[in-house]
Each structure stands twice: as C-alpha cells, then as structure tokens.
Amino acid sequence: MSLSKILGTRVLSVVLAIAFCFGLDAFVTGQLNEYVVRLVMLAGLYVTLSVSLNLINGITGQFSIGHAAFYMVGAYSAGIVSNAIYKTQPLAAPAYMIISMLIGAVFAAIAGLIVGMPSLRLKGDYLAIVTLGFGEIIRIIVLNQNQWGGSYGYAIAPKYQAGWLIWLLAIICIATCRNLLKSAHGLAFLAVREDEIAAQAMGVNVTKTKVVAFIVGAAFAGAAGALFGHMESFINPDLFKMEVSFLVLTMVVLGGSGSITGSVLAGATLFILPELPRIVSFKMSLGLLLSVLVGIGVLVWMNRKFMEKYHEPDKLKRTLVVAGANIGLAVLAVVVGKLLNNIPQFGTTTYDANKIRYMILAVVLLVIMLLKPTGLLGHHEFSWDWVKRVLNRNKAGEASA
C-alpha cells in the first residue's frame, strides 16, 4: 500500500469516527429519553473497558480480574484534579474532559504498572488472585479516605455528560488495539499469550510486553473512569466493586478472548441485557417460564449431542436445518407453555420479567458458554476481507448450483 493511500484511509477513518460521535450525540440526546441516553453512554464506557481488558486478558494472556480498580483510579484522580481547577480557575466544560481523561489515564497507568509487576512472576490463577486483591485494596483505601467522602461519595465538578467523547474514547481504544494486532508488534503480545518460554527464546522481551499491556489497558480504563466520574458527577466506592470487574471479564470471555470485535459486541450489549425488561416490560406465567427453561435445556442438549454430529457438506443446507430445528424447538416450547397455562396454578402465577432479569441474564450466559465455549467470536475478528470472502463464497455456491 502506498503512503498516500494509507494517509487517505487514516484521514477518512478519523473524520468518520468524529462524525459518528457527534451524530450519535445529536441523535441520542436530542431524541431519546434520559434513561436511554445514559445506557448509550454506559455502553461506550463498557466497550472501552472490555476492549482494554481484552488487551491484557485476551491478547497478552495475563488473567487480570481487577479492571474496576483502574476504572476507579481514573475516576477519583480525575475528579480530584478537576475539582481543584474548578475552584481556582473555571474553564470551558470540554477542556475539563480532556484534562480529566489524561489525568485519569496517567494515574491508572501507574496503577497498571504496579499490578503489572507481579505478573512477571505469577501466572494464571495466582495472577488472578493478586489482581482481584489489588482491586479490593484500592477500593478499601478510598473507602477510608474522609477527604474524598469515604463511603458517602465524592462530588465531582463540573457535571458533563459527554456522549461524543465517551464514544470517541471507545473508538480510539478499539483502533489502538486493532493497530497493534495489524502490526508485527502485536505478534509479540500474542506470542507471550501462547508460550512465554518460547517467546522469550525467540527474543521477545516478555517483561516489557506484559508491563506495556497492563499500562495501556489500565490507561484506557482510567480515561473511561474519568469520563464516568464527570458523567455521574457524584461517585462512591460502591460503584467500583468486584461485580464491575467480573462484568467486564464476562464481556471479554463471552465475546471471545482475544477478539476485539467480540469485546465490542459483548461490551455494548451485555449490560443492556438485564436492562431490557425495564424498557420492554412483560409478564411471564409460571407455565411459560417452566416450559421455556426446559426448552432451553433441550436446545443445549440437542445442539451439543446431535447437531455437532450432523455433517452436511452443503453449508447453506446445514445452517438452514440447524436454524430450523432451533426455531421449531422454540415454537414448541411456547406452545407447550400456553398449554401448561391451562393448569390452574401455572396460568395464574405470573412473574414480572423486570424482577427476574438477572436470572434471564444468567441463563443466556450459560447457554452461550455451553454452545460456544470459546466465546461468540472465538479468536476471529470482523474485517471487510471476511465479508468479501463470505459474499464470494455465496456467489461461487450459486454459480456451481
């Protein structure tokens, strides 16, 4: 590829990214209610968090489950600095955002360096325990700082809901990780994940690679934390509990460890999933609920025991048969559920979907992990080449038919 072409694509993608962010902001804040706006902004933050954790966990293979700590360090450090400036010399709101993002990123990067150090000696479960412990230590330290409000919380000025900036950060984070994987430098990170001893024997500086992964991953989480702090304008340590780390970890694993596309998809959708019943509220009768649960069990069993053994050379036919079987099963489950409702107790006992939303989330996660143990996308990435390949394959199929 020629230099001018590379530069052309670059400029085009930057313009598109900025246009997307402002377009999103204009559309979302103008048209939708506050709750949905908040969800869209949170989605952007979670995309940043999951993609940055994917750099540490999925790409470099360092099992870290303390990502909420970096998020927290970013939020608090940015908030403290921003408050100090706000008192002495008020600036325009977007200026705060830029300063806060940088401050959050720098402090979180320092935290990343500190956590990255033990990763040089620890592996797998042991590293996971250390990162988990680190996350809790940071939270408890902040919890006991009265000058930062302790458990009451800490007010951050100014309040600024920068949807465009949140999504711009997400895009920068995605672009950074994707760039790394496109370059030969990314291979060093992947090599460390695959086999540390071999990577080192091939001259890869394993120490540097791991520490850089932690620093860059933490910095993005810190920047996201800074934006989160200004978005909420009031934060407390409970917002950065272990659950957040686990949610982000779930996103990475569910999307397919190592796959940026997977992290983005899971990051943008996974936390919305339990919110959906709030938006579209519906009730389920006991009969339908039981039938659906049994149906899901049968579905998993069918796909694992039967469909995996079903070999059909024609891909289209295979996809149709599998999809047909699954849809048929779903319809059957609903029909059986309606029939079960005729039994007195089963029909009259109802559950609000909103109340059992975490159960729904758990079932969805279980099903995905049982059917796709490597995550939705495995190690795959979305790319235009892939789209072209699929289209060409279909064309070739049509031609031969």
Return the H-helix or E-strand segment holding 234. strand 234-235
The piece of 43-51, 66-74, 126-134, 208-216 that touches another protein (CB under 8 A) is: 208-216
The piece of 68-76, 133-141, 189-197, 334-342 that touches another protein (CB under 8 A) is: 189-197
Q: Please, what is the minimum distance in Å from the beta carbon of residue 145 to another protein?
A: 34
Q: How many C-beta atoms surround the C-beta of residue 286 within 10 A? A: 18
Closest to 69 in 3D by CA, of 236, 173, 221: 221
Task: Find tokens 């540097």 and name the residue.
Answer: 208
Euclidean distance between CA atoms 49 and 53, whole angstroms = 6
| Helices of type H across 144-183 | 163-182
Task: Figure out which of the listed residues 197, 280, 399, 401 binds another protein, where binding follows CB under 8 A.
Answer: 197
201 is a site residue for another protein (CB under 8 A): yes
Task: Find tokens 């908030």 and name the residue.
Answer: 79
The piece of 3-11, 264-272, 282-290, 299-307 that touches another protein (CB under 8 A) is: 3-11
Task: Compute the C-alpha angle 377/383/384, nearest 5°.
Answer: 140
Euclidean distance between CA atoms 218 and 211, whole angstroms = 10
Contacts of 197 (CB under 8 A, 6+ apart): none
**Interface mask toward another protein for 364-393; x: CB under 8 A:** ---------------x--------------
- In one-letter notation, the amino acid at residue 191 is A
182 is a site residue for another protein (CB under 8 A): yes
The piece of 100-108, 179-187, 224-232, 244-252 that touches another protein (CB under 8 A) is: 179-187
Task: Figure out which of the listed residues 200, 233, 236, 354 binds another protein, where binding follows CB under 8 A.
Answer: 200
Q: Please, what is the minimum distance in Å from the beta carbon of residue 198 to another protein?
A: 4
The piece of 107-115, 158-166, 202-210, 247-255 that touches another protein (CB under 8 A) is: 202-210
The half-sphere exposure of 53 on its side-chain side, counting CA atoms within 13 A, is 37
204 is a site residue for another protein (CB under 8 A): yes
121 is a site residue for another protein (CB under 8 A): no
Task: Figure out which of the listed residues 145, 194, 343, 366 binds another protein, where binding follows CB under 8 A.
Answer: 194
399 is a site residue for another protein (CB under 8 A): no
187 is a site residue for another protein (CB under 8 A): yes
The answer to whether 139 and 241 are in contact (CB under 8 A) is yes
Contacts of 308 (CB under 8 A, 6+ apart): none
Q: Give the binding site for another protein (CB under 8 A).
A: 1, 3, 6-7, 176, 179-180, 182-188, 190-191, 194-195, 197-206, 208, 212, 216, 379
